[in-house]
Structure 1
């Protein structure tokens, strides 16, 4: 791609509109266009050759704060350590770690460097880490270059967060799409960060189906932290994520906590077969329901004392029947036994009320 063509393409990208709104995504991880190696090492330019082109000043000039403010549309070769990631990026480091194609991208960049420029904007002044630029699009490429300690060719653009969000969304079209979880959390950050003030504004600005956006935001807001930490959410598609939240929202309190714990137990299954996530969720729900019908302990227990047969406990399905025999009633009245049981249950958090009292 020539410099002039690239400048023209990126200068107008924020104003383009796609023909149809974005719908549900199937998570795909591929090498981004432009990150593929040349046909042979012989045809690949060395990093020094790229850095010496007139349109790409040597990276040494990027270390001084005065050079951070660059003319819009200017290509530069920049030390990757001088570029910080944008807080509104739509990919996560965790997503790259779960991307089977990322190792191929690293191999390509190691052999030939990053072949297609990323998009950055200059910071008004160096940040606390000495960074002079902020990456707007090309997070995978920047991550690979940073991991390998390489400089990277970048197009310096002058955009605010709104235009940056549009550019990022459109640059991903036709490339390896970010995960549904990455999009969900990023859309929520764009709202919480004030880049967009309403869901409608966000949907219109990024040309996203409103129903789809609403579901993704629900996923981002309601996903339990235990599942965020335990499951490979970036490997799951939007349908599975929405289904998981729907199942969790169907229960409350201790039942919800129990379901969360049970889903965590299936973490290895989600990791091995993310495409079967909805089935795995059903399996977790079913196993929990089966366990709830079982009562710990033997099905029937008989207790005796020096006064003879005293107590019988029978468990069936989700019920327990307790029979107090003559041996128990010889030392405790029905009222004493009832009070002891209700007091114990009250200590466990149950609020009991007598709804029917036998007539004397």
Structure 2
């Protein structure tokens, strides 16, 4: 297998394929059992969820459907585990928590799994990759996963984009959703608003009120954008307004958001009548190097 196919962006199926190649390359295809492919039957009561699993919500309907399928046909695809970092002889789910939950509901005593030695960073990246590729995460869960990779492991937006197979602008836009009021994030988390709706009102002074109105009236993303523009025009007509929390005008905050999206870093603007300061914050030297490369290329 070519080296350039071994990135995290391939997802769980490729990881399981690596196990098969490594442990069963010499076995005839027709004679390969689950054990030969590195798949074990692990007692369910020895398996525990990953506390850092980015997915926080599991749909009841799809979980019930999967439970019925497992009762009828069993678990067709093994889950990925690692030895528990806390308890010897037990395991932690890396990928496949929904199947593990459904197997418990189906009354199984054991289920097929592949066990790999993985550190915390690998576990988080694999969990995010699998969920993103299968579209299992809502945008807020996705953003929280990306933020954890940056805060805990110093990953840049560029590195995350390569790992999950998304554009850097997608990573930046998803992270911006975490700056929304909690009420708006809750709408997105539960599917009442799309990420497009949330981005449309991201810089609005009354984002929470706009979100409620969008949900109540069932407005489209385009209608939400028009609603946000109308509110911004009214705000301009009545003069610059201060944000109650930061003391900045909405125009200043919008510019901060735009620069943050482009640079992939936190940006703060302090304006005093047309003069002031622009502050770009970084948390790792890797981020600083990336910023220097961008500014050098721009020059």
SS of 1:235's equivalent? Answer: coil
Deviations 1:134-178 (A, max 9, x none): 111112212322344434322111111333344335545764543
Aligned length in residues: 216
- Determine the structure 2 residue equivalent to 1:105: 66
- 2-structure distance, mates of 1:245, 1:16: 30
TM-fit CA distance, 1:120: 0.8
What is the root-mean-square deviation in Å for CA atoms of aligned residues? Answer: 4.4
Distance 1:154 1:75 in 2: 5
Q: Which has the higher contact order (CA 8 A, sep 6+)?
A: 1
> Structure 1 16/114 Cα, relative in aligned 2: closer, same or farther at 3 Å?
same
- In structure 2, relative to structure 1, the CA distance for the partners of 1:188 and 1:155 (3 Å cut) is same
Gap change, CA 1:200 and 1:141, over 3 Å in 2: same
- In the alignment, is residue 16 of structure 1 matched against residue 7 of structure 2? yes
User: Alignment partner of 2:137: what SS?
Assistant: coil
Q: TM-score, normalised on structure 2?
A: 0.55
The secondary structure found in structure 2 opposite 1:248 is coil
Q: CA deviation at 1:234?
A: 5.1
Unpaired stretches in structure 2, ≥5 consecutive residues: 14-32, 239-299
Corresponding residue to 1:180 among 119, 129, 139 = 139
Decide which structure has greater helix share: 2
Runs of 4+ in 1 over 6 A off after TM superposition: 286-290
CA separation of 1:215 and 1:83: change in aligned 2, threshold 3 A: same
Match of 2:174 in 1: 216
Instruction: Measure the CA separation in 2 of the matches of 1:224 and 1:236.
Output: 15
Which digits, 9 at most, give the CA deviation of each residue in 1:299-348, with x for residues without a partner?
Answer: xxxxxxxxxxxxxxxxxxx9xxxxxxxxxxxxxxxxxxxxxxxxxxxxxx
Deviation by residue 1:213-263 (Cα, 9 ceiling, x = unmatched): 11111113x12111233x1535378xx4255234231x3xxxx2x441242
Cα distance between partner residues in 2 of 1:211 and 1:289: 24
| Cα shift at 1:265 | 4.4
Is 1:116 aligned to residue 80 of structure 2? no
Q: What TM-score do the two structures reach when normalised by structure 1?
A: 0.47
Q: Contact (CA 8 Å) 1:110, 1:148: kept in 2 or not?
A: yes
| Aligned-partner Cα distance in 1 for 2:8–2:51 | 24
Matches within 5 A, 1:198-213: 198-213=156-171
Distance 1:280 1:143 in 2: 39
Contact 2:140 2:185 in 1 (8 A): no
Uncovered stretches (5+) of structure 1, i.e. residues with no partner: 1-7, 23-31, 34-52, 57-71, 271-275, 294-317, 319-360
Check 1:139–1:263 CA distance in 2 against 1; reply closer, same or farther (3 A cut): same
Maintained 8 Å contact 1:119/1:138: yes
Q: Which structure is larger by alpha-carbon Rg, 1 or 2?
A: 1
Cα 1:277–1:78 shift into 2, 3 Å: farther
